[in-house]
Amino acid sequence: MRLNGITLSHNKNTAESQTVPVPLPESVKIPMSQHMGVPCEPLVKVGDMVKVGQKIGDTDAVMSAPIHSSVSGTVVAIEDFLLANGKVCKAVVIKSDGKQKMSEEIYRPVVNSTESFINAVKESGCCGLGGAGFPTHIKLRVDTKVTPIDSLVINAAECEPYITSDYRELVEAPEDVLDGIDKVMKYIGIAHAYICIEDNKPQAIADMKRRTASRNDITVVKLKSSYPQGAEKVVAFSATGRIIGEGELPAYKGIIVMNVSTAGFISRYLKTGIPLVERRLTLDGDAFRTPCNVKAPIGISVRELIKFADGSPDAIAKLLSGGPMMGMCLYDFDTPVMKTNNAILGFTEKAAVRKEVKTACIRCGRCVRACPVKLMPTELEKAYDAKDVDRLKKLKVNLCMNCGSCSYVCPAKRDLAEKNQLAKELLRQ
């Protein structure tokens, strides 16, 4: 069986751009919701002095991950913050003292068992760095007696155009990636790992193959460059041939899917004890004169990154957090960088504004052929317009991963993926 997919321009303009740190900002704004699940409660108050790596947000809720300060300085505000997804959470604003003093809370975790490994991952504040933000310790906490996990699928597909931050992780920190994979395999008890990389990154594929040549427990999988190869269900299928069904997690099929940058981070955390306080991002789009890859402290404003990439907010007609297919439009240049951001893309009006006019469906079937999970977007659109909940369920709208492929290929420019988002919300209600 072969999964559908579409061909996009790769636009990996920053593939050879070595990651550089951005200058320390005067202040950071750190939202208490940077993961899928319950937001953290601030553990600090206005006037408190904090240091890099100090825990500033946490909750007893299981589905969550603690949040740490990315700078040393003074807490100057705790305020409501409107996230790009429309939800509101608290954010801690810290004025930097410019000294980047490290917290005494930082220590190299002692890991000698599955439990201590998962607890360490939790304390690191790690959540899926590919963008979904699923707390990594929850992903790892599978009862392997009930659900035996035999496959670790490392997602290094990076199929969205423009983004090269995962590629730079592979190129700049391959030892960390392999060490992170080894640690997950060892402590979760997984027999085999698959490192999945699209074939538009031949250097990374060759390097990983060379590094793992003597290993029969790691396979480097060369994926066809086809969108959305990096979607969780798609990459799990490409590596193992197993289909993750509606409402299923990969663990139900014996698989843990982990982003490649997450694996690299786990290794570094176990070696240093420094939690997730910075991240690598790609800055690209025609509004930036100097596209690049940067390492930025969590909470730095997007405005600072635009400046760093020689862009001007005045020239930007569309600002995206993430890729052009699944990224989120940002409404505010002062939006802070979060753990899940892997790219900031800025486009001028020339590149961003869609000029085509929406017309009636011509029943060409392209959307059906493009859908990686074989849905019928055109039928789903009709069912949504009729608010036919039973039909939406029958057509399995909840399998839609909002990859946007159907909308992309539609010659009639129907808002198919958007309607599916709304349809899923309708079912939730």
Q: By the criterion CB under 6 A, which residues form the site for ligand SF4?
A: 361-367, 370-373, 375, 377-378, 400-406, 409-412, 414, 416-417, 420
Least separation in angstroms between residue 402's CB and ligand SF4 is 5
Strand-strand pairing, 55-58 and 41-42: antiparallel
Least separation in angstroms between residue 326's CB and ligand SF4 is 9
Closest to ligand SF4 by CB, 40 vs 399, is 399
Closest to ligand SF4 by CB, 84 vs 406, is 406
Closest to ligand SF4 by CB, 44 vs 325, is 325
Least separation in angstroms between residue 384's CB and ligand SF4 is 11
Least separation in angstroms between residue 161's CB and ligand SF4 is 16
Closest to ligand SF4 by CB, 95 vs 424, is 424
Cβ atoms of residues 247 and 397 within 8 Å? no
Half-sphere exposure of 52 (CA within 13 A, CB side): 17
Closest to ligand SF4 by CB, 173 vs 367, is 367
Cβ atoms of residues 156 and 200 within 8 Å? no
Closest to ligand SF4 by CB, 274 vs 375, is 375
Least separation in angstroms between residue 405's CB and ligand SF4 is 4
Give the separation between CA 114 and CA 40, rounded to whole angstroms. Answer: 25
Give the separation between CA 319 and CA 234, rounded to whole angstroms. Answer: 27
Least separation in angstroms between residue 159's CB and ligand SF4 is 12
Least separation in angstroms between residue 342's CB and ligand SF4 is 20
Closest to ligand SF4 by CB, 10 vs 419, is 419
Mapping DSSP onto H, E and C, the string for the chain reads: CCCCCECCCCCCCCCCCCCEECCCCCEEEEECCCCCCCCCEECCCCCCEECECCEEEECCCCCCCCEECCCCEEEEEEEEEECCCCCEEEEEEEEECCCCCECCCCCCCCCCCHHHHHHHHHHCCCECCCCCCCEHHHHHCCCCCCCCCCEEEEEECCCCCCCCHHHHHHHHCHHHHHHHHHHHHHHHCCCEEEEEEECCCHHHHHHHHHHCCCCCCEEEEEECCCECCCCHHHHHHHHHCCCCCCCCCHHHHCEEEEEHHHHHHHHHHHHHCCCCCEEEEEEECCCECCCEEEEEECCCEHHHHHHHCCECHHHCCEEEECCCCCCEECCCCCCECCCCCCEEEEECHHHHCCCCCCCCCCCCCHHHHHCCCCCCHHHHHHHHHCCCHHHHHHCCHHHCCCCCHHHHHCCCCCCHHHHHHHHHHHHHC
Closest to ligand SF4 by CB, 115 vs 385, is 385
Least separation in angstroms between residue 34's CB and ligand SF4 is 25
Amino acid at 167: Y
Least separation in angstroms between residue 211's CB and ligand SF4 is 34
Tokens of 245: 């069904």
Least separation in angstroms between residue 404's CB and ligand SF4 is 5
Closest to ligand SF4 by CB, 170 vs 375, is 375
Closest to ligand SF4 by CB, 293 vs 405, is 405
